Amino acid sequence: MNSRLVDMRQQLRDTWAHVLVVLVLAIIFAIALWSGYALGTGTFASPGTGLWPVLASSAGVVLSLLVLIHHTLSGKEKVIPSNELFSDVSWRKVLVFSASVTAFLILYSLIGFLLSATLLIFVLLKYAFEARWALSIIMSIVAPLLLYVIFTELLSVRL
Amino acid sequence: MEILDGLLSGLSVAFSPMNLLFVALGVTLGTVFGLLPGIGPTAAVALLLPLTFTMEPASGVIMLAGIYYGSMYGGRIPAILMRLPGDSSSVLTTLDGYPLTQQGRAGAALGITAIGSFLGGTVAIIGLTILAPTLARYASVFAPPELFLLMTFGLLMIVLIASGNVVKSIIMALFGILIATIGMDPITGTSRLTFGSYELSAGIGIIPLAIGLFGIGEVLNNMASGDNRRQSIGKMNGVMPTWADWVVSRMAILRASILGFFIGVLPGGGGTVSSVFAYGVEKKLSKNPEKFGKGAIDGLAATETADNASSNSAFVPLLTLGVPPNPVLALIFGALLLQNITPGPQLVNEHPDVFYGVIASMYIGNIILLLLNLPMIRVFVSILRIPQSLLGPLVILIAICGVYAVANSMFDVLLMMVFGLLGFILRRFAFDLTPLILGFILGPMLEVEWRRTMIMSGGSMDIFMERTGSLIILLLLLTTVLLVAFNAMKRRRSLMHRVRNIASEEM
């Protein structure tokens, strides 16, 4: 495809997935709006705790809805194919990242920083960044150990 | 006289052995992080922010400032040698820098940009020394209505300039403001938007948010797109430009220094905007505009000079008005807040050591950077050989330790990871993260000034039009919004039109 066209499409990016992101943001703004109201808004002269979140989130809801309505009316998805956005993304790597970080957060309280960080770095290096075995093993031992020494000995942080 | 006295006291702060060490460390780390592909200045400052907590406020900011302008120097190296821009402001550097490398003139390109960066930076620091205290003096009379409008103006400028899609940027700024409301109400102390979570009642910190969005988000983006290849690095001979190079570039460097300084002072104006502007001006004035994009050394010198000049002058709105003009300065703003120092018109009176110490340290930092970037350039170039696959996990581990160190909280690490995923997704959908972080930083202050204004006026909005200062800012704000919004709409319409034309030609 014409590279100029790809560049321009990248700039526009009004795809169904993009609209989904705006929709999620609209829902978050709506929840905040509701919570803000529940806290009490008061008046401008005597603002309640919820006034500021209500002001910010109501503007967010209105603008998100504007984007959604604009998208529905203009039908831009016909101009920009939606499958181009993530064509270069390896979802397996994103999954490996998410799973290994979750495992790290759970294991940290059970086996401590050094072991859990070693496992995390090894999995990330080998399966997300696709490094060689030897490099993955060496780095996953050396890097956590080095940072452990820096943080605990030099910066007095208990890891 | 007052400025000279201030500068002298600042030099005594900057020349203390510890601060000299911190400025040297800052610019060196900044250069290294700036040249590592995939880690821009924002990620660099975010990752190293936790290190400054135990320091004196002046030392912490001196180091962070050094990291910032050091990374501007560093960013040009992969842009010239590998056509790999570290951040958006280095994109223009690749246009003429890489062709010069292909012509076997990488050394001259690196040399002239180091000299240009030094001169641009120095001109901007002199401007900063003169302008900042004067502006702070005028701004010190501002009351809550003016401060509220000024911060709104700063945020809106960033929203309007940062991205092509204005509505999406405003949504991001509002999202940032909303995230900042989580936790305690700054005036009554009541919990809000915490949904019963004990951890959230303390609010969301700048560190997990910034490191997540910019550090982890960037690593994820590089990792997921499989960009782990080791790219070839252009060959480099000596690093001194020829006399002819200097003659061609000297006026471009002078113009870009001045232009970069003034653009950098405007919110959202630093970095990319100043580079684009300076490049455009030089192309217009050049006797050989056809050379631009094919290795014009004056074009290259102009972009890098303006880039560095603007990164130094960007401290003007932060130190004098309390408005951070870009994400890096928003992080430095956050670092000051964590040290119980509020940047703004009162900074010069309340914390002159920080105000003048940072300015004075920039003179020193700039000289160190010139020394690092001429004789020692080969050392930095060798760092480019570190594969991306090694850097990513290291950045993640440093981020975990850094975030944990701030409050000994694994919940903060979890938050950082969540924001990392969020940053990755938003970046993929071309949502600019700059308004988000600035909304987050400015949100609490906007709220406080808004509430103070409303209490002053008894809830009437007329107060903004009754006071001369606020009326001027309001008119300036409205004019800018209308102008930029009109231009953005025109640009988008023409882009859509061109896409349709090309698409129909292809069918």
Of all residues in chain B, what percent are helix, strand and coil, respectively (each to 5)?
A: 75, 0, 20
Q: Are strands B183-184 and B191-192 parallel, antiparallel or unpaired?
A: antiparallel
- Contact status of A139 with chain B (Cβ, < 8 Å): yes
3-state secondary structure of B183: strand
For tokens 């592909």, what's the residue?
A: B37
User: What does the radius of gyration of chain A's CA atoms come to, in whole angstroms?
Assistant: 24
Give CA angle at B475 (B490, B163), nearest 5°: 35
- Determine which helix (DSSP H) or strand (DSSP E) holds B373, and give its type and residue range: helix B352-373
Where along chain B do its domains lie?
A: 2-466, 469-507
Domain segments of chain A: what residues? Answer: 3-84, 91-154
Across the range B257-276, mean pLDDT stands at: 80
The angle, 0 to 180 degrees and rounded to 10, between the axes of the packed helices B91-102 and B57-82 is 50
Could you report the per-residue pLDDT of A86-138, keeping only the tens digit for each? 566 778 888 999 999 999 999 999 999 999 999 999 999 999 888 889 989 99
Contact between residue A137 and residue A131 where contact means Cβ atoms under 8 Å apart: no
Q: Chain B: give the shortest CA distance to residue A113, in Å.
A: 10
Round to whole Å and give the CA distance between B298 and B246.
9
Q: Do A89 and B443 touch (CB under 8 A)?
A: no
Give a three-class secondary structure readout of chain A. CCHHHHHHHHHHCCCHHHHHHHHHHHHHHHHHHHHHHHHCCECCCCECCCHHHHHHHHHHHHHHHHHHHHHHHHCHHHCCCHHHCCCCCCHHHHHHHHHHHHHHHHHHHHHHHHHHHHHHHHHHHHHHCCCCHHHHHHHHHHHHHHHHHHHHHHCCCCC
pLDDT value of residue A25? 92
Select the more confidently predicted residue: A153 or B16.
B16
- What type of residue is B134? T
Q: What is the pLDDT of residues B310-366, one digit of tens each?
A: 988 988 888 888 888 888 888 898 888 888 888 888 888 888 888 899 999 999 999
A 10 A CB-CB count for B414 gives 17
Distance from C-alpha of B306 to C-alpha of B116, rounded to nearest angstrom: 9
SS3 state of residue B264: helix
Does B496 touch chain A if contact means CB atoms closer than 8 Å? yes
pLDDT (average), residues B92-97: 86
Tell me what the mean pLDDT of segment B428-451 comes to: 87
- pLDDT tens-digit readout, B374-415: 888 888 888 777 777 788 888 899 889 888 888 888 999 999
Per CB-CB distance under 8 Å, the chain B contacts of A85 are 428-429
Query: Given the structure tokens 């094919």, which residue do they identify?
Result: B294
Query: What span, in angstroms and rounded, lies between the C-alpha atoms of B476 and B170?
Result: 19
Å between A72 CA and nearest CA of chain B:
16
Band (pLDDT 50/70/90 cuts) for residue A77 is: very low
Could you say which of B164, B188, B223 has the minimum Cβ distance to residue A93?
B223
- Give the pLDDT band of residue B44 (cuts 50, 70, 90): confident
CB-CB under 8 Å, B393 with A147: no
Contacts of A108 in chain B (CB under 8 A): 410
Q: Chain B 173-202, CB below 8 Å of chain A: which residues?
A: 174-175, 177-178, 181, 185, 188, 190, 192-193, 195
pLDDT of res. A116: 95
For chains A and B, count residue pairs whose Cβ atoms are closer than 8 Å: 183
Residue A59 has a pLDDT of 95
pLDDT confidence bin for B85, thresholds 50/70/90: confident
CA distance B486 to chain A (A): 17
**CB-CB: which of B167, B178, B401 is closest to A32?**
B178
B226 or B331: which leads in pLDDT: B331
- pLDDT band of A2, cuts 50, 70, 90: very low
User: Is residue A82's pLDDT more than 50?
Assistant: no
Amino acid at B381: V
Could you say which residues from 345 to 404 on chain B have a Cβ atom under 8 Å away from some Cβ of chain A?
387-390, 392-394, 396-398, 400-401, 404
Contacts of A125 in chain B (CB under 8 A): 389-390, 393
DSSP track, B104-170: T-HHHHHHHHHHHHHHHHHHHHHHHHHHHHHHHHHHTT--HHHHHHHHHHHHHHHHHHH-S-HHHHH
More confident residue, A111 or B227: A111
Give CA B291 to chain center in angstroms. Answer: 30
ipTM value, please give it.
Answer: 0.86
Quick one: pLDDT at residue A12? 46
Per the prediction, chain B carries an average pLDDT of 85
Least confident of B26-35, B130-139, B269-278, B288-297: B269-278
Which residues from A are below 8 Å from B421, CB to CB? 94, 98
